[in-house]
A and B are shown apart, each in its own frame.
Chain A
Amino acid sequence: MNTSALKTDPNFHEAGRRFFRDFSPGDEFYEHLIEAHNGLSDEQSEALNARLILLLANHIGDLKILREALQHARAAG
């Protein structure tokens, strides 16, 4: 059986905070993401994205999940 370890359902949340609208936590993340790139050149943004992927990948750690994420990212392109 092909079980997926990667979460692809909406999963943004924060401990201790209550969101009354289901789109709010994802929108908040997206705002932070775009804000993090504010004022950067395209090259600087690419580098930031690379660092971000590396930080998140290490945090996830589980290679099964990371392989799946890589496959999905490649497939959608």
Chain B
Amino acid sequence: MGAYVNPIYPYKAPTDLKVAPPLRKPLIVIGAGPVGLAAAVDARLQGLDVLVLDDDKTVSVGSRAVCYAKRSLEVLDRLGVADPACALGVSWNIGRTFLEEDEVYQFNLVPDAGHKRPGMINLQQYHIEEMLIARALELGADIRWQHKVTAVTRHDDHATLTVETPDGTFDIEADWLVVADGARSPIRRHLGLDIEGRVFQDRFLIADVIMKADYPAERWFWFDPPFHPNQSVLLHKQSNNVWRIDFQLGWDADPEEEKKPEKVIPRLQAMLGDDRPFELEWVSIYTFQCRRMTDFRHGRVLFVGDAAHQVSPFGARGANSGFQDTDDLMWKLALVMKGQAPDKLLDTYALDRQFAADENIMNSTRSTDFITPKSRTSKTFRNQVLALAKHHPFARKLVNSGRLSVPSFLTSSLLNTPDVDAFEGSMVPGAPMDDAPVQVAGQDAWLLDQVGKGFACLLFVNAVPSAETLATLQAFRQSAVPLETLIVSSSPLTVPGCKVLVDAQGWMAKRYDAKPGTTYLLRPDQHVLARWRALDPVAVQAAMARAICKA
């Protein structure tokens, strides 16, 4: 056991950046947190030159965002860091909720088999950041530490940044600017952009505790436990014997006083209930707000992650929704930067992710109102839901100790083409794709690993397609914005020019309600755009035009 030591990343004097007239870069990202780094990795995968500016020289101090949801792991798979994250992280699916000493409710995040990734992993934010930094550097991203952006001026076709370094200040220009500078977002404030929402009057103590314990890898949440009466407590297992414990303290708690080890240690001893040795790695007190910017896009300046929206921590919807922001943004930005789609495609980044942020804020606000009731009546309802939950299934479903991050169904996205054919199941236009086990070239593989590098067309067949169909698919592959063409078959086939996914167990057919002829059009970020019962090239082309705002 041992505490984590933050790495120090080398400062590089900006001799190459500090020139007159100012350099113009195609893309600058402000902030090397998880979301800014994801943007940088994605930019490199899209072939974009990217400069990342960060005012610090290390990764997160303390564990901070510890829960990475299945959808984030799928995004990280595409970015190339999910394997190390899952290897080091603690995978879990089961959450238990207790009232006093009794378990009242448990959930399983992935009740179905047939998904590559678990419902959630717990991993300290500093580990995720280290992995993303290594990946970004490997892909050729230019990351500059101790480069603090102190001013941004917006222009019609670029932004000018003023950057402060140990070697003085300089100006630099960016065709496009991605702002990922966190909840306090100095850049958002500097630009005078509004962010509105609710402040919650409560305080929470977070402790990262290093100890040997054989509790299972599950999320445990207590309402009113005997060791911390009238408040809630949350326990999570992290990697390397670090445990994360959150204590609700109430609004009247004195944050400075509560952070002192002589206050924290007795709380932990009461909870652990024995005299096992432990060390405190990090302690913090937090309050939170649920709010978002009115518009995530301001011309050439695009806001992502906590800079754009904040939620309560119940539900792990912070970093997880930030990854979904860059997942949505970067393919759109790449198409616009390469001149393959009109500028207005980026308006749909704002619309799609504002919709998702509203859903995240709604769910995290509901959780917060359940966990920290604001009136006697609200508390009575909460406690009686818990009382009924022991015997009645409907009340168990109402127990809300955090609705853990799941991706939004972007059903109102302007990029979708509405169904004209009848389908069962949940893979509607705008749905985040369900994963499924498949075989590719005789090897076991996963559906989501086969898509996500660009637009894709999935065609379900029961025999080798006709010459006419093959010609259609070839035309898709050769269009200005190419479509990858994938064939799904229940038995092995060879189809020229197409990857064949063998759906031997029928997971895809079931999840996508597919029959021979069923065609799905997919976004680069693994969301459904459109689907039909038969492959109609004209319909697919029209849907593609709509998907890049060229309709």
Instruction: Flag whether A14 is at the interface (Cβ < 8 A).
Output: no
A77 lies within 8 A of B387 (CB): yes
Taking A20-B426, A31-B369, A76-B388 as contacts, is the C-beta distance between A37 and B378 under 8 angstroms? yes
Contacts of B385 in A (CB 8 A): 30
Partner of A23, one of B369, B400, B431: B400
- Interface 1/0s, chain A 36-77, versus B by CB < 8 A? 010010100110010000000000000000000000100111
Contacts of B387 in A (CB 8 A): 76-77
Instruction: Flag whether A5 is at the interface (Cβ < 8 A).
Output: no
- Looking at chain A, what size class is its interface with the partner chain? 20 to 34
Contacts of A10 in B (CB 8 A): 393-394, 397
User: A21 vs B393: C-alpha distance in the bound complex, in angstroms?
Assistant: 16
User: A17 vs B277: C-alpha distance in the bound complex, in angstroms?
Assistant: 53
- Looking at chain B, what size class is its interface with the partner chain? 20 to 34
Q: How far is the CB of A25 from chain B (nearest CB, A)?
A: 9
Instruction: Flag whether B259 is at the interface (Cβ < 8 A).
Output: no
Q: Which residue of B lies closest to A37 (CB)?
A: B377
Instruction: Flag whether B384 is at the interface (Cβ < 8 A).
Output: yes
Taking A20-B426, A30-B370 as contacts, is the C-beta distance between A76 and B403 under 8 angstroms? no
Q: How far is the CB of B42 from chain A (nearest CB, A)?
A: 26
User: A21 vs B411: C-alpha distance in the bound complex, in angstroms?
Assistant: 14
Q: How far is the CB of B453 from chain A (nearest CB, A)?
A: 26
Instruction: Flag whether B190 is at the interface (Cβ < 8 A).
Output: no
Greatest chain A CB density within 10 A among B377, B381, B385, B431 is at B377
Partner of B393, one of A9, A20, A49, A72: A9
B393 lies within 8 A of A76 (CB): no
Taking A10-B397, A76-B388, A76-B391 as contacts, is the C-beta distance between A27 and B366 under 8 angstroms? yes
A45 lies within 8 A of B377 (CB): yes
B394 lies within 8 A of A37 (CB): no
Q: Is the interface of B mostly helix, strand, loop or mixed?
A: helix
Q: How far is the CB of A12 from chain B (nearest CB, A)?
A: 8
Q: Which residue of A lies closest to B397 (CB)?
A: A10
Instruction: Flag whether B189 is at the interface (Cβ < 8 A).
Output: no
A31 lies within 8 A of B366 (CB): yes
Partner of A8, one of B369, B384, B392, B431: B392
User: A29 vs B490: C-alpha distance in the bound complex, in angstroms?
Assistant: 43
Q: How far is the CB of B538 from chain A (nearest CB, A)?
A: 29
User: A20 vs B431: C-alpha distance in the bound complex, in angstroms?
Assistant: 10
User: A10 vs B390: C-alpha distance in the bound complex, in angstroms?
Assistant: 14
Instruction: Flag whether A3 is at the interface (Cβ < 8 A).
Output: no
Taking A9-B393, A9-B394 as contacts, is the C-beta distance between A76 and B377 under 8 angstroms? no
Q: How far is the CB of A59 from chain B (nearest CB, A)?
A: 17
Contacts of A9 in B (CB 8 A): 393-394
Instruction: Flag whether A2 is at the interface (Cβ < 8 A).
Output: no
User: A10 vs B399: C-alpha distance in the bound complex, in angstroms?
Assistant: 12
Q: Which residue of A lies closest to B378 (CB)?
A: A34
Contacts of B391 in A (CB 8 A): 8, 72, 75-76
Contacts of A20 in B (CB 8 A): 409, 426, 431
Contacts of A33 in B (CB 8 A): 381
B403 lies within 8 A of A30 (CB): no
A7 lies within 8 A of B377 (CB): no
User: A39 vs B537: C-alpha distance in the bound complex, in angstroms?
Assistant: 58
Taking A11-B394, A34-B369 as contacts, is the C-beta distance between A21 and B381 under 8 angstroms? no
Q: How far is the CB of B372 from chain A (nearest CB, A)?
A: 12
Contacts of B388 in A (CB 8 A): 72, 76
Instruction: Flag whether B320 is at the interface (Cβ < 8 A).
Output: no
Instruction: Flag whether B276 is at the interface (Cβ < 8 A).
Output: no
User: A34 vs B369: C-alpha distance in the bound complex, in angstroms?
Assistant: 9
Residues in B453-469 with C-beta less than 8 Å from chain A: none
Partner of B363, one of A7, A27, A40: A27
User: A37 vs B375: C-alpha distance in the bound complex, in angstroms?
Assistant: 9
B366 lies within 8 A of A30 (CB): yes
Taking A42-B377, A77-B387 as contacts, is the C-beta distance between A23 and B403 under 8 angstroms? yes
Instruction: Flag whether B263 is at the interface (Cβ < 8 A).
Output: no
Taking A76-B387, A77-B387 as contacts, is the C-beta distance between A27 and B398 under 8 angstroms? yes
Contacts of A46 in B (CB 8 A): 377
Q: How far is the CB of B452 from chain A (nearest CB, A)?
A: 21
User: A4 vs B479: C-alpha distance in the bound complex, in angstroms?
Assistant: 62
Contacts of A37 in B (CB 8 A): 375, 377-378
User: A21 vs B71: C-alpha distance in the bound complex, in angstroms?
Assistant: 15
Contacts of A7 in B (CB 8 A): 394
User: A46 vs B391: C-alpha distance in the bound complex, in angstroms?
Assistant: 25
B403 lies within 8 A of A21 (CB): yes
Taking A8-B393, A21-B406 as contacts, is the C-beta distance between A30 and B376 under 8 angstroms? no
Greatest chain B CB density within 10 A among A7, A31, A34, A75 is at A34
Q: How far is the CB of A17 from chain B (nearest CB, A)?
A: 11
User: A58 vs B393: C-alpha distance in the bound complex, in angstroms?
Assistant: 24
Q: Which residue of B lies closest to A39 (CB)?
A: B375
Q: Which residue of A lies closest to B430 (CB)?
A: A20
B394 lies within 8 A of A8 (CB): yes
- The 5 sampled A-B contact pairs (Cβ below 8 Å) are A23-B403, A26-B394, A26-B398, A31-B366, A33-B381
* Given A23-B397, A34-B381, A76-B390: 14 more A-B contacts, CB < 8 Å: A8-B391, A8-B394, A11-B394, A20-B409, A22-B397, A23-B400, A30-B400, A34-B378, A45-B375, A45-B377, A46-B377, A49-B377, A72-B388, A75-B391
The 7 lowest CB-CB distance pairs between A and B, nearest first, are: A45-B377, A8-B392, A10-B397, A10-B394, A76-B387, A37-B377, A20-B409
- Hey, which bits of chain A sit against chain B, CB under 8 A? 7-11, 20-23, 26-27, 30-31, 33-34, 37, 40, 42, 45-46, 49, 72, 75-77
